[in-house]
Structure 1
């Protein structure tokens, strides 16, 4: 498993989700986007559809018919009927089910930094006794790019 931590300092969550979702699809993978906040999921869905005709990112809620067909699935839980191997935790809350995915993106804001650091330390400690876990950590710069921490 790979866990990537993204500290958001400039762009809203939905814009970063669209960026990572686009890269996921370009890699030939499917994504599950999880947030317990239904309003946040709605904003993410709108941002994914508004990527423009050449780049729009098809998506849907996990509760609708044919959810398994969606390349990007939005949900409040970590169940992936679309067989996604990539998980994006848009609300900044880690879920233990993330361990079952090949890659997990954790997006968090400045107010969640301490919790993210504690999670990082916990996952690093577990990685020494369990299966290997790869880590990445990124902070958004003022130009909108991402710098490794």
Structure 2
């Protein structure tokens, strides 16, 4: 399993997350996005419907009756009801068990010192657990560059 850390500096989560979710779905992976709060879940749910007029990102939340059928699911819980291969953790979301996915993606705001410290702690936890970790940072043009 791979564990990716995305350091948001040039774009907010609302700009970066939809593109990464789209790429995951293109690979044939089911996706789960775990938010740190119910408020953030609501905000991202609405945003993913409207972020791009020329695109459609099929998704739902774990509150819906058909949650298990959703290709991309937004939640605040640690469950994996849609059988996702990739899990995005945003806004301080925590996951007790790091196993069971093809890829975990921690996305954190580089302007928030608490978020940076949490990402460092998660990095150490993943490394200590023997997982393959990589660190990605946004270049001035907004593209992602692997730094470690």
TM-score range, shorter chain: 0.7 to 0.9
Alignment: residue pair count: 144
Q: Which structure 1 residue ranges, 5 or more long, are not aligned?
A: 128-132
What's the C-alpha RMSD, in Å, of the aligned pairs?
Answer: 1.7
For the pair 1:115 / 2:118, whether they are aligned, the reply is yes
CA offsets 1:85-140 (integer angstroms, 9 cap, x no match): 1100012333123322221100011222233223212321221xxxxx22221011
The 2-side partners of 1:23 and 1:107 are apart by 15
The 2-side partners of 1:71 and 1:52 are apart by 18
The 2-side partners of 1:70 and 1:86 are apart by 13
Counterparts of residues 90-105 of structure 1 (less than 5 Å): 90-105=90-105
Q: Which residue pairs with 1:21 in the alignment?
A: 21
Secondary structure of the structure 2 residue equivalent to 1:96: coil
Q: Which structure 2 residue ranges, 5 or more long, are not aligned?
A: none
The 2-side partners of 1:35 and 1:52 are apart by 21
